[in-house]
Chain A
Amino acid sequence: MSEALMTIDSLELQLGSKRLCRNLNLRIDQGQTWGLLGRNGAGKTTLLHSILGLHHPKAGNIAIAGQSLESINRRQLAMQVGMLFQENPDSLPATVLETVMLGRHPHSQSILTDSEQDLGIARKALEAFDLAGLSGRQVQSLSGGERQRLALAMLIAQQPRLYLLDEPSNHLDIAFQTRMLGILRRIAREDSASLFMATHDINLAARFCDHIVLMLPDGEHRSGPAEEILQEEILSAAYDCRIRQLKKDDLALFYPEEAS
């Protein structure tokens, strides 16, 4: 059995006065792809932020590669865990290549010079997401989809062991959604890294994830292999909406039954 990349023990999350989850237990191993599902406001983003140390859990413990989160400093953590955030705020001007290079921040040794190695990794990351031709462009001039791909490229330049993705399909058209996530999963697997992605898109999760955590409205959760969790009854209860499943070839397609 391989070493656990991340373990979560009896985690309780609270945002303001609202309890999001309690007694959450989770173990993510190397090379796995986990989906994080749940209704709006169920606490998906907060859970991802907690793994990155950006939100302090009310109780419980999170460990990365056997080391408790509190004992890892930010930079070490950033070498292990990288996150794609939902929002990529506009800011002062920057070019595409400059932005991807920021992904190398936790690894860079020298203060004043950029290493050839880092530049090479950044360029490869751009190529992986079809952005090599745009490397000199201003970020502000990119389309929403190009920006999302840029954020993904910056994330793989970071080379984390665990990729946290908050709505990775945002701003991507249907063709790019599957292509970009496919690329990301391939790169992660080559490094035996793992993915943990929060998404609203059950079908995307069904297609890409081998495991699922489903956050329920009452603060409970269910987790396990995707085929065990992605079932009509379970999803219907979680989303408080009748959800049906269509099967075609190897694909499962979930859709909500029309509201009467």
Chain B
Amino acid sequence: MIQRHHILLLGLLAVLTVGSLFFSLLTGSVELSLRDVFLALAGDDNSLNTQVLREIRIPRTLAGFATGGLLAMSGVIMQVLLRNPLADPYILGISGGAAVGALSAILLGLGGLWLNNAAFFGALLSIVLVFGIANRFGQWSVTRLLLTGVVISAGWGAVINVLLTTSSSNTVQSMLFWLMGDLSQSQVGIGHFLLLFAGLAIALLFSRSLNVLVRGELVAAGLGVNIERLRILLYFAASLFTASAVTVAGSVGFVGLIIPHMLRLLGARDHRILFPGAVLLGGSFLMIADSLARSVVAPQQLPVGVVTAIIGVPSFLIILRSTISK
């Protein structure tokens, strides 16, 4: 059910998103002012500051927003699909597959587009593998899907360890950055934003059905939801969001797990609020985390995945505590 305070919550999240966007644009090794940002956006300026913004800050900020939004939406879906509050976008092995792809590319000395394609290919392979095995006997149960995903994920983990232990120390460094999630090399394209917004639109279309699915598959079927079709749609939607996110940023942890829960604790239980809320809060969260990742130990950079955990853990615990005491 949508109530007035839900609309207010979305409004506040939109403000937070705009704030985080500017925070991210203004944070970094080069001091920039709001004026520089507007000059760069206006277009006909060619100063050094504008170049920094156009070539580094803006792409990186947008990558943070898109990745955070996709991961948070994927987390919402996985938690409902698997009926498990501990589910996150990576639980079914998608990030593992992507990591094996990416790490192999790094090992071969490939970068940029090659690395992204390898990661995306690894993610797709994992999606198809898990679905194929779980679907094998026609009985597509949530438990089977979860177990298949977890086992495949463990398999990828082993391959990752082999790659890590057999690589030279300087390639291991970039591998670790990829594994922890890092936006410094990120290239976000129009495709990611198309996926983000088209994904959000589709998610909104199915929000009512998800509200019912939360009450259990039997109840949902009894209320007219085509469970079989919905499950497959949810699996592939969440998988595609995750694959796209890890391709941009590596496996940034924590966003997909805690953002959905934070929103639920803040009262956004209806998926019509939860999905747009997840895009805004997930996006803001990652933009802020990345700003900190490149400024707290400057000129050194931290992988953003480390920062998401460092600020995610306490803020989640604070919200959990304040809502339980109510």
Across the interface, do B2 and A92 meet the contact criterion of CB distance under 8 Å?
A: no
Task: Name the distance in Å between A182's Cβ and chain B's nearest Cβ.
Answer: 23
The residues of B that contact A97 with a CB separation of less than 8 Å are 1
CB within 8 A of B212: which of A54, A87, A102, A114? A102
CB within 8 A of B79: which of A78, A92, A158? A92
The residues of A that contact B218 with a CB separation of less than 8 Å are 54, 85, 87
The residues of B that contact A79 with a CB separation of less than 8 Å are 224
Cα(A176)–Cα(B209), bound, Å = 32
| A94 at the B interface (CB under 8 A) | yes
Task: Name the distance in Å between A149's Cβ and chain B's nearest Cβ.
Answer: 16
A128-147 near B? 1/0 per residue, CB < 8 Å: 00000000000000000000
**Contact residues of A between 81 and 128, Cβ < 8 Å to B:** 82-83, 85, 87-89, 91-95, 97-99, 101-103, 105-106, 108, 111-114
**A: interface residue count bin:** 35 or more
Across the interface, do A85 and B219 meet the contact criterion of CB distance under 8 Å?
A: yes
**B: interface residue count bin:** 20 to 34
The residues of A that contact B208 with a CB separation of less than 8 Å are 105, 108, 111
The residues of B that contact A111 with a CB separation of less than 8 Å are 204-205, 207-208, 272
| B216 at the A interface (CB under 8 A) | yes
| B189 at the A interface (CB under 8 A) | no
| B226 at the A interface (CB under 8 A) | yes
The residues of B that contact A102 with a CB separation of less than 8 Å are 211-212, 215, 219, 223
Task: Name the distance in Å between A87's Cβ and chain B's nearest Cβ.
Answer: 8
Across the interface, do B215 and A91 meet the contact criterion of CB distance under 8 Å?
A: yes
- If A89-B216, A92-B264, A114-B1 touch, whether A103 touches B223 (CB-CB below 8 Å) is yes
B224 (CB) vs chain A CBs: closest residue: A78
| B198 at the A interface (CB under 8 A) | no
User: Looking at chain A's contact residues, is the secondary structure mostly helix, strand, loop, or mixed?
Assistant: loop
| B138 at the A interface (CB under 8 A) | no
CB within 8 A of B221: which of A54, A76, A88, A91? A54
Cα(A88)–Cα(B226), bound, Å = 19
CB within 8 A of B269: which of A74, A98, A108? A98
Across the interface, do B85 and A88 meet the contact criterion of CB distance under 8 Å?
A: no
Task: Name the distance in Å between B219's Cβ and chain A's nearest Cβ.
Answer: 6
| B83 at the A interface (CB under 8 A) | yes
CB within 8 A of B216: which of A77, A91, A95, A158? A91
The residues of A that contact B133 with a CB separation of less than 8 Å are none
Across the interface, do A112 and B204 meet the contact criterion of CB distance under 8 Å?
A: yes
Choose among B224, B270, B272 the residue with the greatest number of A CB atoms under 10 Å from its CB: B224
Cα(A102)–Cα(B223), bound, Å = 8
Across the interface, do A98 and B204 meet the contact criterion of CB distance under 8 Å?
A: no
| B56 at the A interface (CB under 8 A) | no
Across the interface, do B2 and A113 meet the contact criterion of CB distance under 8 Å?
A: yes
- If A97-B1, A114-B2 touch, whether A88 touches B224 (CB-CB below 8 Å) is no
- If A83-B222, A105-B225, A108-B208 touch, whether A99 touches B215 (CB-CB below 8 Å) is yes
The residues of A that contact B1 with a CB separation of less than 8 Å are 97-98, 101, 114
| B214 at the A interface (CB under 8 A) | yes
B255-294 near A? 1/0 per residue, CB < 8 Å: 0000000001000011010000000000000000000000
Across the interface, do B223 and A78 meet the contact criterion of CB distance under 8 Å?
A: yes
A99 (CB) vs chain B CBs: closest residue: B215
| A52 at the B interface (CB under 8 A) | yes
Cα(A82)–Cα(B224), bound, Å = 9
The residues of B that contact A93 with a CB separation of less than 8 Å are 264, 269
A84 (CB) vs chain B CBs: closest residue: B222
Cα(A98)–Cα(B273), bound, Å = 13
Task: Name the distance in Å between A190's Cβ and chain B's nearest Cβ.
Answer: 22
Task: Name the distance in Å between A144's Cβ and chain B's nearest Cβ.
Answer: 17
The residues of A that contact B264 with a CB separation of less than 8 Å are 92-93
B326 (CB) vs chain A CBs: closest residue: A138
The 5 closest A-B pairs by CB, nearest first: A78-B224, A75-B224, A106-B224, A105-B223, A89-B216
| Selected A-B contacts with CB under 8 Å, 12 pairs | A82-B223, A83-B222, A85-B216, A85-B222, A91-B216, A93-B264, A94-B214, A99-B215, A102-B212, A111-B207, A111-B272, A114-B2
